[in-house]
Amino acid sequence: MTEFLPHIPIEIKPYITAVLASLSCGIIGTYIVIRRLVFISGGITHASFGGIGIGYYLGWHPLAGALVAAVLSALGIEYTTRKGAMRNDSAIAIMWSLGMAIGIIFVYLTPGRPPNLMSYLFGSILVVSEAELFFLLLLDIVLITTFLVFYKPVIYVAFDRDFAKSRKYPVALIDYVMMVFIALTIVLNIRIVGIILVISLFTIPQNIANLFTLRNKPMFIFSVLISMAGTGMGIVLAGIIDVPTGATIILFLVAMYLLSRLLNRVFKI
C-alpha cells in the first residue's frame, strides 16, 4: 500500500527522520511534561514491547503489534484513572513490566531469530522505512493541525480539568484523544532511539526549554527546535565516532541540558 512513496537517499534519510520525529516528540513531549504524564508514558512505551513480541510471533509488522498494545494500554490507563479518581503508579509499574515480560516470551517463542529486534530496543534511525516516515509525517500533520486549532482549550484543560468540567467542556474526550496521540507518538518514534530511550525525547528537550521560558507556547516551539538540534547532532557525532546513534542522541541531549543549566546559572537568563 505504500509503494507509491518516493525512495529517499540514504545520506539524507536520517536527517528527515530526525526532523519528523522532533516535530511529534516536541509537541507531545511538552504536553506530557506539563501534564506530568512522564511515568505513564514510560509505562505505555514498555507495554508496547509486548505488542512487538506478539507481532513477531503472529508474523505481523512488529510496529503494528506495538501500536495495538500502546493504544490499548493508554486507553486502559485513562479509563482506570477516571474510575479510581487517582493515578495508581503501582498499576503503571505492573503494566510496564508485564508488557516487557510478554514481549520477551513471544520473541522467545518466535521460530528463528526475530529480524531487527535490537532496532526496537535500542533504536536504529538508519533502518527506518519510507512507510514509517510516511506515517510519522501523517502524525505530524494531525498533531500540528489539532494543536493549532484547539491549542488554548487543550492547554486550559491540561492546567485545570476540574474547572474545565465545571464549564461543561468535553474534558474526557480531550483526555482520551491526547492519550491516543501519546501512544501513536511513542510507537512511531521507537525506532529512532529505541524503547528504552524514547522517553528521553519527550522530556530532555522540554526541560531544556523550560530553563529558558515559563510560557507554554515558547516551550512547545523550543522543544521541537532543541529536539531537532539534538537528534541532528547526535546522528552526525555517531557517524564520526562510529557508535550507536540512539544512545549518542540521548548523550548529546543530556550534555545540552547540563550546559543550559550552567548557562542559566551564570547568566541568570
Applying CB under 8 A, the residues found at the interface with another protein are: 34, 36, 149-150, 152-153, 155-160, 162-169, 210, 213-216, 219
- Nearest to residue 21, comparing CAs of 177, 232, 169? 232
Kindly state the smallest distance separating residue 212's Cβ from another protein, in Å. 11
Residue 122 or 147 with smaller CB distance to another protein: 147
Residue 105 or 155 with smaller CB distance to another protein: 155
Kindly state the smallest distance separating residue 29's Cβ from another protein, in Å. 13
The contacts found for 234-239 with CB under 8 angstroms, 24 or more apart, are 235/14, 235/15, 235/18, 235/125
Kindly state the smallest distance separating residue 33's Cβ from another protein, in Å. 9
Residue 143 or 195 with smaller CB distance to another protein: 143
Q: If you count them, how many residues does the chain have?
A: 269
Q: Which DSSP state fits 3?
A: T
Exposure letters 173-183 (e unless 16+ CB within 10 A, then b): ebbbebbebbb
Asked if 201 and 192 touch (Cβ cutoff 8 Å), the reply is yes
Residue 89 or 160 with smaller CB distance to another protein: 160
Kindly state the smallest distance separating residue 177's Cβ from another protein, in Å. 15
| All residues at 6 or more sequence positions from 180 whose CB lies less than 8 Å from its CB, including other chains | 71, 74, 75
Kindly state the smallest distance separating residue 130's Cβ from another protein, in Å. 36
Residue 3 or 162 with smaller CB distance to another protein: 162
Asked if 145 and 137 touch (Cβ cutoff 8 Å), the reply is no
Using CB atoms within 10 Å of the CB of residue 240, give its burial: 0 to 12 exposed, 13 to 18 middle, 19+ buried.
exposed
